Amino acid sequence: MATVTESPATAKAQSAQAAADAQPAGETDGFQLVIEALKLNGIDTVFGLPGIPITDLTRKAQAGGLRVISFRHEQNAGYAASIAGFMTQKPGVCLTVSAPGFLNGLTALANATTNCFPMILVSGSSEREVVDLQQGDYEEMDQLAIAKPLCKAAFRVLHAEDIGVGVARAIRAAVSGRPGGVYLDLPAKLFPQAIDAELGRKSLIKVVDPAPRQIPAPDAVKRALDLLKGAKKPLILLGKGAAYAQADADIKALVEKTGIPYLPMSMAKGILPDTHPQCASAARSFVLPEADVVLLVGARLNWLLSHGKGKTWGAKSSKDWGGQKYIQVDISPTEADSNVRIEAPVVGDVGSCVAKLLEGIDGIRAPAEWVAAVNDKKAKNVAKMGEKLAENPSPMSFHSALNVVRDIVKANPDAYLVNEGANALDFTRSIVDMYKPRRRLDVGTWGVMGIGMGFAVAAAVVGKQQVLAIEGDSAFGFSGMEVETICRYNLPVCVVILNNNGVYRGDEKGYGGSQDPSPLVFVKDARYEKLMEAFGGVGKHVTTPQELRAAIEEAFRTKRPTLVNAMIAEGAGTESGRITALNPTAAKK
């Protein structure tokens, strides 16, 4: 196992450096104030990648007691920060260098904003005077202007005495209302700026009530309850906003007191265990078109729900809606009506809204015929799935491999499941039951590839549990170098690559007589496990469900960084997985 060791010479040099860095008595500086401002607000970990002008900030942050998780690419550090935000309701902080480092972090910032994850991208930047006159500084870029359209708010701090305000504003913007990404621009000159220590101390702000509760209006709650009361086929749809809100007990009470079937969106799986008798996941394509009143809790009617339109919802055409009446619980007052009419918007935080709904819930009960119809459909689909899972083809299929993962997650419900790919994503989502809230971390609203290793690192560091990352071979490639990070921090992460030799599948030939391989395939039977071995972790190459089970179980037992290269049939998988319909040419095939 690779470990970080320190030679006596290095240690000596570092303590000499620390002595040289020591502040004159009674003074503090930008470095110290940034670190103290974060610590004062309960931020104990930052994810990032050092270089000019933040190299010393990473060192001093570590010396100052923050955990600094240093990555190989800023995008992965950014994804780690964003998912830490989702898991903890505290903004995840990502630290990047100027221009290219900042841009590398920006995808994650935009993704955080899109997914409503609270995150702060803190980036060093070059000098304003040079940037504004476009004189060609090292890594010159007007970062604030570029970040603005991709996040909830963007701030720049020019004076050390304003650091407290800058950090406080960034925290409030990230976590209040609809959570999202915030950019904080810190020019190089800010860090060594010295100010009076007492003035500095007084300038820091411990944010009071950063995400104030938002209580829904009584008439909005009544409107919603009235609608539910009259429903013949009610359905509750839980989204990742509901998972984020950490109102698990009240959500469970709402579901159980009403007896209404519920569907969890991908990252809402586990708020209640997927094995709950009211979970309608196995009857999804039955309940969506059939439901007459749908209660959305922290879920948007975006593409993942076919915009509330089309066949999915029982409508005649893709432009039409199925006639369902919607209640939408959401913290954003502008979310309602973004796709179809919302009869009863309930604006507030999920915790407060569900608590208020619960006060008036007595007497509201899902009609027995509806529940029976859903259960009937569920039983049939579960039996069909059981048959598929019991198959044992050679080479492995997605089903035979994921049947193993399903058992392992059942036996280890606290483990985090990170998941990306196309088929690898869709099959895992439908096959692997989740038992605890916020344990499933995936590609989210954008369906973005590359979250894998960043999310895995954050889940291990912040969640302090075993992590299992189920990855398509293409998906893994976007962040694969972070296996070094996993080894360096010796994290309990087991990466399983469902390897079918390509994007979606691996059996395509080159087109038009080209000597080149198809744009969708990779080197055949690539030995990804050696990448983990290169850094001291455990690599396994497996071809059967038995070997796969043994490899994951060993990883869970030893807690060592492990990469399992699980070979599945090249032809397993369909183009774009379940979202073939969004791919204009594949949809026609």
Q: What CA–CA distances, in Å, run from 500 to 369, 515, 519, 521? A: 44, 21, 15, 9
Stretch that binds ligand ADP, among 64-72, 96-104, 157-165, 329-337 (CB under 6 A): 329-337
Closest Cα partner for 200 from 163, 174, 148?
163
69: left (phi over 0), alpha (psi -120 to 50) or beta: beta
Stretch that binds ligand ADP, among 46-54, 58-66, 279-287, 294-302 (CB under 6 A): 294-302
Classify strands 262-264 and 234-238 as parallel, antiparallel or unpaired.
parallel
List binders of ligand TZD among 559-578 (CB under 6 A).
Answer: 573, 577
Contact residues for 281 (Cβ-Cβ < 8 A; gap 6+): 263, 264, 269, 274, 430
Phi, psi for 493 (deg, rounded to 5)? -115, 125
Minimum distance of ligand TZD from residue 421's CB (angstroms): 3
Stretch that binds ligand TZD, among 43-51, 158-166, 266-274, 471-479 (CB under 6 A): 471-479
User: Applying CB under 6 A, does 449 fall inside the site for ligand TZD?
Assistant: yes
Question: Do 289 and 311 touch, CB atoms closer than 8 A?
Answer: yes
Partner from ligand ADP, ligand TZD, none binding residue 473, C-beta < 5-8 Å depending on class: ligand TZD
Partner from ligand ADP, ligand TZD, none binding residue 481, C-beta < 5-8 Å depending on class: none
Stretch that binds ligand TZD, among 134-142, 407-415, 446-454, 532-540 (CB under 6 A): 446-454
Binding-residue pattern over the window 301 to 320 for ligand ADP, x denoting contact by CB under 6 A: -x-x----------------
User: Applying CB under 6 A, does 180 fall inside the site for ligand TZD?
Assistant: no
User: Applying CB under 6 A, does 99 fall inside the site for ligand ADP?
Assistant: no
User: Applying CB under 6 A, does 504 fall inside the site for ligand TZD?
Assistant: yes
Q: Which is nearer to ligand TZD, 54 or 106 (CB)?
A: 106
User: Applying CB under 6 A, does 422 fall inside the site for ligand TZD?
Assistant: yes
Partner from ligand TZD, ligand ADP, none binding residue 293, C-beta < 5-8 Å depending on class: none
Q: Which is nearer to ligand TZD, 351 or 450 (CB)?
A: 450
Classify strands 92-96 and 67-70 as parallel, antiparallel or unpaired.
unpaired
Minimum distance of ligand TZD from residue 568's CB (angstroms): 8
User: Applying CB under 6 A, does 85 fall inside the site for ligand TZD?
Assistant: no
Stretch that binds ligand TZD, among 175-183, 441-449, 459-467, 531-539 (CB under 6 A): 441-449
Partner from ligand TZD, ligand ADP, none binding residue 246, C-beta < 5-8 Å depending on class: none
Continuous H helices in 230-302: 240-244, 248-258, 284-290
Contact residues for 179 (Cβ-Cβ < 8 A; gap 6+): 85, 89, 116, 117, 118, 211, 244
Partner from ligand TZD, ligand ADP, none binding residue 310, C-beta < 5-8 Å depending on class: none
User: Applying CB under 6 A, does 473 fall inside the site for ligand TZD?
Assistant: yes
Minimum distance of ligand ADP from residue 304's CB (angstroms): 5
Minimum distance of ligand TZD from residue 532's CB (angstroms): 18
Q: Which is nearer to ligand TZD, 124 or 545 (CB)?
A: 545
Phi, psi for 234 (deg, rounded to 5)? -75, 155
Number of H helices, E strands in the chain: 23, 19
User: Applying CB under 6 A, does 215 fall inside the site for ligand ADP?
Assistant: no
Other CB atoms within 10 Å distance of the CB of residue 425: 24
E-strand stretches of 460-510: 467-472, 493-499
70 three-class SS: strand
Partner from ligand ADP, ligand TZD, none binding residue 265, C-beta < 5-8 Å depending on class: ligand ADP
Q: Judged by CB under 6 A, which of 472, 492, 545, 561 binds ligand TZD?
A: 472
Q: Judged by CB under 6 A, which of 116, 297, 503, 552 binds ligand TZD?
A: 503
Chain-centroid distance, C-alpha 405: 20
Phi, psi for 177 (deg, rounded to 5)? 55, -140
Residue facing ligand ADP at closest CB distance: 241
Stretch that binds ligand TZD, among 151-159, 173-181, 458-466, 468-476 (CB under 6 A): 468-476
User: Applying CB under 6 A, does 178 fall inside the site for ligand ADP?
Assistant: yes
User: Applying CB under 6 A, does 30 fall inside the site for ligand TZD?
Assistant: no
Size of the site for ligand TZD (CB under 6 A): 18
Residue 296: beta bridge partners?
Answer: 237, 328
Contact residues for 576 (Cβ-Cβ < 8 A; gap 6+): 422, 504, 582, 583, 586
Residue 94: beta bridge partners?
Answer: 47, 121
Minimum distance of ligand ADP from residue 278's CB (angstroms): 18
Question: Do 183 and 147 touch, CB atoms closer than 8 A?
Answer: yes
How is 513-527 classified by DSSP, letter by letter?
Answer: T-SSPPTTB-STT--
User: Applying CB under 6 A, does 95 fall inside the site for ligand ADP?
Assistant: no
Q: Judged by CB under 6 A, which of 331, 346, 460, 548 binds ligand ADP?
A: 331
Q: What CA–CA distances, in Å, run from 559 to 420, 460, 537? A: 22, 11, 11
User: Applying CB under 6 A, does 424 fall inside the site for ligand TZD?
Assistant: yes
Phi, psi for 521 (deg, rounded to 5)? -115, 160
83: left (phi over 0), alpha (psi -120 to 50) or beta: alpha
Taking the C-alpha atoms of residue 139 and residue 126, their distance in angstroms, rounded to an integer, is: 7
Structure tokens belonging to residue 248: 């698990």
Other CB atoms within 10 Å distance of the CB of residue 574: 16
User: Applying CB under 6 A, does 236 fall inside the site for ligand ADP?
Assistant: no
User: Applying CB under 6 A, does 421 fall inside the site for ligand TZD?
Assistant: yes
CA atoms within 13 A on the CB side of 437: 20
Binding-residue pattern over the window 438 to 457 for ligand ADP, x denoting contact by CB under 6 A: -------x------------
List binders of ligand ADP among 249-268 (CB under 6 A).
Answer: 265, 267-268
How far apart, in Å, do the first and last CA atoms of the chain sit? 49
Q: Judged by CB under 6 A, which of 50, 239, 261, 480 binds ligand ADP?
A: 239
User: Applying CB under 6 A, does 429 fall inside the site for ligand ADP?
Assistant: no
CA atoms within 13 A on the CB side of 316: 0
Residues interacting with ligand ADP, by CB under 6 A?
115-116, 178-179, 239-241, 244-245, 265, 267-268, 298-300, 302, 304, 330-332, 335, 349-350, 445
Residues interacting with ligand TZD, by CB under 6 A?
421-424, 447-450, 472-475, 498, 500, 503-504, 573, 577
